[in-house]
Amino acid sequence: MATTSHQESEVMYTHTYLPSNVKLCYVGAVLGKLLGCKVKMEYTVSDLVNPHRCSVQGVFFKHSKYLTIINIRPKRGYHYQFFYDYEPDHYEWMTLVSQISYPFYLAIGKRLCDFFGGMLFYRDERVGQFDADYAVVSEDNKYNRPQSMDGIRHLNARIFALKPITRDEIKQYSKYATYRSTSPKLVTE
């Protein structure tokens, strides 16, 4: 009787767990910025000196009961997709961003953890059984879900300052990913 490897029998995903205090719109904004979407600071009439919010073009959400698909389209011909789960099976106090275990998505997961705090598992088979492959202590609400105008300005400035993901960052994860095929073309290339 022939046996098949785990890799052949089902798709292996990378899991990035983020604190539950992170709003979906901020996750979308960070993903958009990392993938080369245009960002502009929008101003309110009452506050023309300081930006009120960061607007990221090309970020779209498709919602279902428990899962949201985050579509990132930085420009014509480029399309990236992520799965966002409000109620993951493991680490119920967190939210989950997942995608197939390619170096590209591992590098994105690392950058999400660096920004919001969280845990990155290179392969979903490790979730719940092993320590995270990469982890950053989560920021509190002051930084991840601000309630004051100063906090919102600070978060928006952090998003605005993000640099897009680079090919060098992606290459660092080639040895950890389940699948080693070429990564999607980057807008910055």
Structure tokens at 114: 């660096």
Q: How far, in Å, CA of 87 to CA of 183, rounded? A: 28
pLDDT of residue 183: 67
**Cβ neighbours of 126 (radius 10 Å):** 14
Give the pLDDT confidence score for residue 182 in this predicted structure. Answer: 61
pLDDT in tens, the chain (189 residues): 333 334 444 788 889 999 988 888 899 999 999 999 988 766 555 554 544 556 788 898 999 887 899 999 988 888 999 999 987 777 777 888 999 889 999 999 999 999 999 999 998 877 777 788 999 998 677 778 888 878 888 888 899 899 999 999 999 998 988 887 766 777 766
φ, ψ of residue 69 to 5 degrees: the values are -95, 125
DSSP labels for 88-143?
-SS-TTEEEEEEES-HHHHHHHHHHHHHH-EEEESSGGGTTTS--SEEEPPP-HHH
Give CA–CA dist 134/101, Å, rounded: 14
> Would you state the pLDDT for residue 32?
94
Domain ranges of the chain: 13-171
pTM: 0.85
What's the pLDDT at 70? 93
The reported pLDDT for the residue numbered 43 is 57
pLDDT score, position 130: 74
Distance CA 130, CA 81 (A): 27
